Chains A and B, each alone.
Chain A
Amino acid sequence: MTDRSTQHGSFVIERTYESSPTEVFTAWADPTAKARWFVGPPDWKETLRELDFRVGGRERLNGVFPGGRTTAFDALYWDIAPNRRLVYTYDMHAGGKRISVSLATVEFTPTGDATRLIFTEQAVFLDGFDDAGGREKGTRAHLDRLDTALRSGSAR
């Protein structure tokens, strides 16, 4: 019998971006803008990208590492309040195995000329292939890349 386990976890990341909520929201909603920051680590190569940004729409991002290990992100959008909030769920696969199922909420709040972003992920990590600590670290890297993209103006 294969070992089956689940580990439930959650984490919250807060960031402030020197851009308007509309600009930050667009960086998530527009496929070209999102492709500038929502990528894997430097040695990872993208093999498939799709974003159908609407309630019920799907997003996919597949890639491969030099050793041949594949990754697949497969998301579904459940709630979209323009410039305010996103709720999506996603499966992560690594090496062909489903390693987690997550519920992610992104909230955008204006603070002066800037935007406060609150990212909350609630997840179940399957069969010991990943954990909340690893996922939080990866998500922080994405939100760092979003900051760089917004500063350079390339996320718009």
Chain B
Amino acid sequence: MTERSVTHATFVIERSYDASPARVFAAFADPVAKAHWFAGAEPGQGRYELDFRVGGRERNSGGEPDGPVYTFEARYHDIVPDRRIVSTYYMHVDEIRISVSLATVEFKPERGGTRQIYTEQGAFLDGHDTPAVREQGTRGVLDTLDAALRERAI
């Protein structure tokens, strides 16, 4: 019998961006902008898809050549323009489901910029990943968003 285990955890990451809430929100809502910082790819290449609406799906997959394929697939549950996005997603490594998460992103105006609060509540399955690794990975992705906003790349 395969070992089955679940680790439940929550982490919160707060960031301030020198960009308006509308611009930061657009970085999440626009497929071209999001592909730039989140997927490192142009849309239409077949590995990144975003259907940004309630009930819509987002999908990204990739990895090193000859390495495992990482697949991210999300559903959007709640969208309040310039204010809030609630989504759920799973991560697979090859065919193994390693986690299911609930992610809330909130945007608040702050001194001409935006305060962003990212909250992830996750169920990490069968010891394939840990909350600490996920938090570290998410911080890295948000660093890329910050750089893209600063460079006006998006």
In the complex, are the beta carbons of B90 and A4 less than 8 A apart? Answer: no
The number of inter-chain residue pairs (CB within 8 angstroms) is 78
Give the chain A neighbours of B122 by CB distance below 8 A: 103, 122
In the bound complex, residues from chain A placing their C-beta under 8 Å from that of B102 are 89, 101-103, 122-124
- Considering the complex, which residues of chain A in the window 1-20 have a beta carbon less than 8 Å from any beta carbon of chain B? 4, 6, 8, 10
Interface check B106, CB cutoff 8 A: yes
Contact A6 to B84, CB < 8 A, known contacts A76-B75, A87-B123, A122-B10: yes
B116-154 contacts to A (CB < 8 Å): 119, 121-123, 125
Inter-chain contact B8/A120, CB cutoff 8 Å: yes
How far is A10 from B10 in the complex, measured between Cα atoms in Å? 9
B97 within 8 A of A: yes
B binding-site residues for A, Cβ under 8 Å: 2, 4, 6, 8, 10, 75, 77-78, 80, 83-84, 86, 88, 90, 97, 100-102, 104, 106, 119, 121-123, 125
Q: List 11 A-B contacts (CB under 8 A).
A: A4-B83, A78-B100, A79-B125, A87-B6, A89-B100, A101-B77, A102-B102, A107-B6, A120-B8, A122-B102, A124-B104
